[in-house]
Structures are given as C-alpha cells and as structure tokens.
Amino acid sequence: MTIDYLALGEVLDPDEYVICVYRVKSDLDIRTAGSRIAEEESTGTWTHPTTLSDDIFRRYGAKVVEADGDLVTIGYPLVDFSGDIGGIPQILSIVAGNLFGLSSLKGVRLEDISLPRDLVERYPGPRFGIQGLRDVLKRPEMPLVGTIVKPKIGLPPKEFAEYVYEAGSGGLTNSKDDETLVDQDFCPLEERVSRVSEVLDLLEEEEHLMIHAHNITTSAHEILEAADLALENGARQLMVDVLTVGFSGLQALAEDPSVDVPLHVHRAMHGALTRDPEHGISMPVIAVLSRMAGGDALHVGTYGAGKMHGENELLSRDKLVEDMHGLKPVMPVSSGGLHPGVVHQLMEKSGNDVQIQAGGGVAGHPDGIRAGARAMIQAVEAAYSGISAEEYAVDHLELRRALEMWM
C-alpha cells in the first residue's frame, strides 16, 4: 500500500477534524516536513509497519491539507481523540507531542488550533467568564482594575491583608496573590485567606466591592483540598498557574460543584513555550485550552505596554472572547510592568473587556498603596471617557504624581 499524508487542497469538515497550523523550520521541502509531523503524530513511525493497514491509515491518519512558505495545516481525525480517558493531556500529546523532537525539523511551533464542537462540549468552560465577573463586582462596562500584592513574597498575613485593604480603599476592583506565593511558612494560605476575607468584608461594609484571587497552585491530587481550605476561610476567587499545575488541575476545579467562585488563571512559565517564534506553542493555543478547561480570567499580555515579552495579545484575546461552541467568553488580564501612564495605550488595543493588573504600578506610587490604586482608577476613568491622562491629571493629584514619576 502507498502511505501518503499529503492531502493538499482537501477541505476538511471542522466538525470531524482537529485542525492545527504549524510554523516549520527545516531543510526539507515544506510538504515533506508537514508529512513527517502528520506521520509522527498519528499512524506512522520511521518505518512502514506491516500492521498498518489501509483501513487504519484511512480512518486514523492525519492529513496535510496546506503547506506553503513555512506554514503547514494538518487535520487530525476526531476519532483519534475519542474515549472517556485522555482529555487535554491527550490532545496535547497528539497535536504538540513528539513532533518537537523530530531531528529532521530545526524548529516547529504550534500556532493555532481549531476544535470540533463534539470535542469542546466535553469540557466545562468558564462558569463565570466576563459577564459573571462583572456581575460579581457590579461593574457592567468599565475595565476591571486590580493589583498584585508586592513584594511577590515576604509579607506576613496581617500586612498582606492591609495591602489589600489599602488597594480596595483606593477603588480597585481586584487584587491577587503573585504566582510564586502559595502556602509558604511566612504567609500560610489559611491565615492569609482569612485575613484578606475580613478586609474584603470591611470594604463591602464601606460600600466597595472587591475580590482577591488566592493562589492554590499545587500538585494535581491536592488541588481540590487546597481549594476547600481557601473556600472555608472565605475566598472569593481562586488562582492557579495553569502551565505548572496542568490544564487538568484547572479542569478539576472548574468541574467541582463546591468551587463556586471565579477561577483566575496565571500563565507562569508560558515563555518557555511561547517566546521562541520558531519553536514551541503559541499563546493563542494556551488561551483556547485554558478556556476549555474552565478558566474565568487569563493573563494574555500587555499589548506592548508593559515589561514582559509578548506577542499575539490580540489573537489571544480573540480566542478568549470569540464564539467557541457555546463556551462563555473569558476575561483577558493584562499584567506586567503596568502603571497609570500606559493605561490609555493599553485600552486603545484591549477595549473595555479587560482586567488591568498593576503590582509595582500601585505599590511604587510615591504616596503609597491607596494613592497608587486611585491613580490607576483615575487613568482608567480618563481613557474610558476619551480624555488624555495628562489632561485628567490636572484635577487628580494621585494620577499627576504617578505621571511625574513614570512618564
């Protein structure tokens, strides 16, 4: 029999195939390189096994339907992803597995993924999403504005909670643990959650709504226990580092009925996968999988306004909010080197459906946390109203002081 994974020009039924786009760097002809990927990730190997029948190849073999320039589009039959066991780990093993180690390829990057309805509907998706978060905070239109408690680690629970209170008193809607803080001895999760819950209750008594995302990143078999501990002590939002926990850890939280608070998804470690333009996995793909797994908010980057390397922020944002077989839209989060002076630039690209998180841009304000929070709120109010930050700062001291410091 003749084994040929090339099916150039064939139009695949999007309900019957997982369709992936790869960027490939190789000395091979791009069609041959694409065939090597399709072979490795479906029915092939380096030889032609006698057990590979024409029927197996026809039913389960991947198809290279486009190969042009350095881009290859490959469709994987939906049946390859069937069964009750496997989930997102199996999806990744197929579409982003051994192909990265193929010696015939100098580089390969999974740029995009399109999933059939039947596959997507097996996953919970967000329970809250954009609208749910807005409803919780009673903030129907304007961007959510948050902070990350700084320093990243080191504050004991009492001082940690005081930071949250000051930020909320300055008007912020959100705050969160940093990605490196979970349950260390100097700031145990149980006491931290309890003390933060107390100040959030106090803020609510003062007629200001705020939620804080508590980081429960831990081993997969312990994550529900960590969630229970946080919820028992009043947590209003939970956070996970999805790439270090794994998508299945996030999915376990989203599917558990007792976890009835929004899930904030951090992308710590993503640069190991996304930063090399010729090798790895793009952020839009991570966005798709995080949405399927049940994240309500996901970090996507700062649209060029912050300190962190980023690309594809707009496409990542689109993957969170576009139609995806009925899944709720996810709140895009921008964080990393933000301060009031860059808010207008960010919102011009992000629109209003964004959660703007400033750590150092709040904590570093010369007049303290509360003033830093007010400056961020004022910057968002200005951009939302179509007024420049400089003009708005004339009558808003905290914003003026921030601009003097950072601009």
- The whole-number pLDDT of residue 308 equals 56
- The whole-number pLDDT of residue 45 equals 82
- The whole-number pLDDT of residue 84 equals 86
User: How far is 285 from 290, CA to CA, in rounded Å?
Assistant: 9
Q: Are 24 and 80 in contact (CB under 8 A)?
A: no
Backbone angles phi, psi at 241, to 5 degrees: -85, 100
303-318: buried (b, 16+ CB within 10 Å) or exposed (e) per residue? bebbeeebebbeebbe
Contacts of 176 (CB under 8 A, 6+ apart): 146, 147, 148, 149, 212, 213, 214, 215, 237, 239, 264, 357
User: Residue 73 forms beta bridges with which residues?
Assistant: 21, 66
Q: Amino acid letter at 302?
A: T
Q: Are 356 and 144 in contact (CB under 8 A)?
A: yes
- The whole-number pLDDT of residue 50 equals 86
- Residue 133's closest CA among 263, 301, 325, 32? 263
pTM above 0.85, yes or no: yes
- The whole-number pLDDT of residue 1 equals 59
User: How far is 147 from 355, CA to CA, in rounded Å?
Assistant: 10
Residue 150 designated active-site: yes
Out of 63, 150, 212, 264, pick the active-site residue: 150
The CATH 3.20.20.110 domain(s) of the chain lie at 129-406
Is cis: bond before 151, omega within 30 of 0? yes
Q: Are 148 and 214 in contact (CB under 8 A)?
A: no
Q: Are 343 and 389 in contact (CB under 8 A)?
A: yes
Handedness of CA 46, 48, 51, 54 (dihedral sign): positive
Give Cα 311 distance to the centre of its chain: 13
Out of 176, 214, 264, 266, pick the active-site residue: 266
Q: Amino acid letter at 52?
A: L
Q: Are 350 and 373 in contact (CB under 8 A)?
A: no
Does 17-120 carry CATH code 3.30.70.150?
Answer: yes
- The whole-number pLDDT of residue 311 equals 63
- The whole-number pLDDT of residue 303 equals 82
Give Cα 167 distance to the centre of its chain: 24
- Assign 3-class secondary structure to 229-283: HHHHCCCCEEEEEHHHHCHHHHHHHHHCCCCCCCEEEECCCCHHHHCCCCCEECH
Q: Are 18 and 83 in contact (CB under 8 A)?
A: no
- The whole-number pLDDT of residue 85 equals 86
- Assign 3-class secondary structure to the chain: CCCCCECCCCCCCCCCEEEEEEEEECCCCHHHHHHHHHHHHCCCCCCCCCCCCHHHHHHHCCEEEEEECCEEEEEEEHHHHCCCCCHHHHHHHHHCCHHHHCCCCCEEEEEEEECCHHHHCCCCCCCCHHHHHHHHHCCCCCCEEEEECCCCCCCCHHHHHHHHHHHHHCCCCEEECCCCCCCCCCCCHHHHHHHHHHHHHHHHHCCCCCEEEEECCCCHHHHHHHHHHHHHCCCCEEEEEHHHHCHHHHHHHHHCCCCCCCEEEECCCCHHHHCCCCCEECHHHHHHHHHHHCCCEEECCCCCCCCCCCCCHHHHHHHHHCCCCCCCCCEEEEECCCCHHHHHHHHHHHCCCCEEECCHHHHCCCCCHHHHHHHHHHHHHHHHHCCCHHHHHCCCHHHHHHHHHHC
- The whole-number pLDDT of residue 307 equals 59
CATH number of 129-406: 3.20.20.110
The CATH 3.30.70.150 domain(s) of the chain lie at 17-120
Residue 176 designated active-site: no
- The whole-number pLDDT of residue 304 equals 77
User: How far is 146 from 175, CA to CA, in rounded Å?
Assistant: 5
- Residue 22's closest CA among 103, 96, 77? 96
Contacts of 56 (CB under 8 A, 6+ apart): 43
pLDDT means per 10 residues in the chain (407 residues)? 88 97 97 96 87 91 97 98 92 96 96 97 96 98 98 97 98 97 98 98 98 97 97 98 96 97 96 95 97 97 69 89 97 95 95 97 98 98 97 98 95
